[in-house]
Amino acid sequence: MHICVLGAGVVGVTTCHYLLASGHEVTLVDALDGAGLGASFGNGAQLSYSYVAPLADPSILSKWPHYLFSRHSPLTLKLTPEAAQWTWLARFLQACNADRVRQTTLSLLRLAFLSRDEMTRLRTAAPLDFQHRIAGKLVMYKEKASLEAARRQVEFQSQHGCRQEILDADDCARIEPALQSAQENWAGGVYTADEEVGNCAAFCHGLLERLRKHPRFHFQGGSAITGAEVLSGQLDAIRINRSERLSADAFVLTMGAGSAHFARQAGFVLPVYPLKGYSITVPVAGLEASEAPQVSITDFSRKVVYARIGDDLRVAGRVELVGLDQRIPARAIDELKSSTAALFPRTAGRFASAALSPWTGFRPATPTGLPIIGRSPVKGLYLNVGHGSLGWTLACGSACLLAQHLSGEKPALDASAFQFAS
């Protein structure tokens, strides 16, 4: 079967990998000339298989005024007239209940563990150079109440295969000496020893180069997808650059935040909304072990993550519901710089001399936090979308499930939680 994959982010290229392994002919189409150049390019670099709890959480309801009105809030909401934003927000708030969150977390954990195993298989079969390593991860908390909530989450997740520890501030600093200089009063942290990091953009590039060598694969870069031709309820073809027509036996939608627009062109509503985030990349070569971290760090209160990839420290954060505004305001980058300087003071000397590669991307999120994997309402169109901030973490598992579904194989896990629902 000839299958056309729409979108060359990390979800798109891994989907191609698994479809080829299932024996299909695959065409990958993207508006850009390479893979992983959109939301996958400057992400937080953490492969956090045990940290998959959704953004929708009961605590959001009590913190909503702070998130909306505090100038120090890590979340920004700019209300627009578009119905998609209001509908998404309403469903998001409905998802902020304890029972729903617990079920969502279990579904995401199962998918994350599948993804971890599939990533290991992929790397073992033919190594890719994307600065992958097992770094371990510390999530640091300033408030005792937040740490106690984390303790309850750790106890819950321990029943489902997660190996995590609650540590006091001193033990966290022993695991990651760079935290000893932090200008913070930590209550403690959660440590997961087997979490991983990797350069997502390098992974996408390397995997695409490997795919190009396959006789049943074709990459059509520089090809903006501008329309959908639906005949009798089935996607017959897509339009590229307005004038070109591309047909296939089946299509897989992996366009990230652009997926909702394509879905409307195909005649249905996809509950995916862009959550804007930012990152900087700080060069830390030459700094001592006590000056720049090797362990991945998450500052829970600031919602900022730190991941060491080679000689660089990737710093990423913020969640903004502002539509597809691609501007990078100085304020957002200054916040990342000041947060980094507060935790790792010696890195501040690298800010002035380095470009820092300021970046913004749009996490394609569903209200519940569950990605949508499988059939769409349109025949011939399949979905692998809506991973939010977990696209890098869940990519291999999601692609494996999608390929199994499309090929009629027995799924590696119960995928019912990821089905499309109108």
User: Tell me: the pLDDT tens digits for 32-72?
Assistant: 999 999 999 999 999 999 999 899 888 877 776 766 666 67
Q: What is the mean pLDDT of residues 295-324?
A: 95
92 or 183: whose pLDDT is higher? 92
**In the predicted structure, residue 404 carries a pLDDT above the cut 80:** yes
Whole-number pLDDT of residue 332: 94
CA distance linking residue 391 with residue 200, whole number of Å: 10
Give the pLDDT band (50/70/90) at residue 201.
very high
**In the predicted structure, residue 327 carries a pLDDT above the cut 70:** yes
Whole-number pLDDT of residue 68: 65
CA distance linking residue 325 with residue 269, whole number of Å: 21
Whole-number pLDDT of residue 372: 98
Q: What is the mean pLDDT of residues 356-362?
A: 96
Which domains does the chain show, CATH number per domain? 56-80+132-196+274-365 (3.30.9.10)
Q: What is the mean pLDDT of residues 362-378?
A: 98
217 or 289: whose pLDDT is higher? 217
Give percent of the chain with pLDDT exceeding 70: 98
Give the pLDDT band (50/70/90) at residue 114.
very high
401 or 126: whose pLDDT is higher? 401
CA distance linking residue 309 with residue 331, whole number of Å: 25
Whole-number pLDDT of residue 80: 82
**In the predicted structure, residue 81 carries a pLDDT above the cut 90:** no
Average pLDDT along the chain: 95
Q: What is the mean pLDDT of residues 223-249?
A: 96
Whole-number pLDDT of residue 59: 80
In the block, residue with structure tokens 């079969």: 125
Give percent of the chain with pLDDT exceeding 90: 89
Q: Under a CB-based contact definition with an 8 Å cutoff, are residues 324 and 275 in contact?
A: no
CA distance linking residue 229 with residue 235, whole number of Å: 6
Which backbone phi and psi does 324 adopt, to 5 degrees? -105, 45
CA distance linking residue 169 with residue 150, whole number of Å: 14
Q: What CA–CA distances, in Å, run from 31 to 89, 239, 272, 277?
A: 29, 12, 20, 21
Whole-number pLDDT of residue 337: 96
Whole-number pLDDT of residue 69: 65
Q: What is the mean pLDDT of residues 135-150?
A: 96
Structure tokens at 134: 């097992």
Give the pLDDT band (50/70/90) at residue 75.
confident
Q: What is the mean pLDDT of residues 390-416?
A: 97
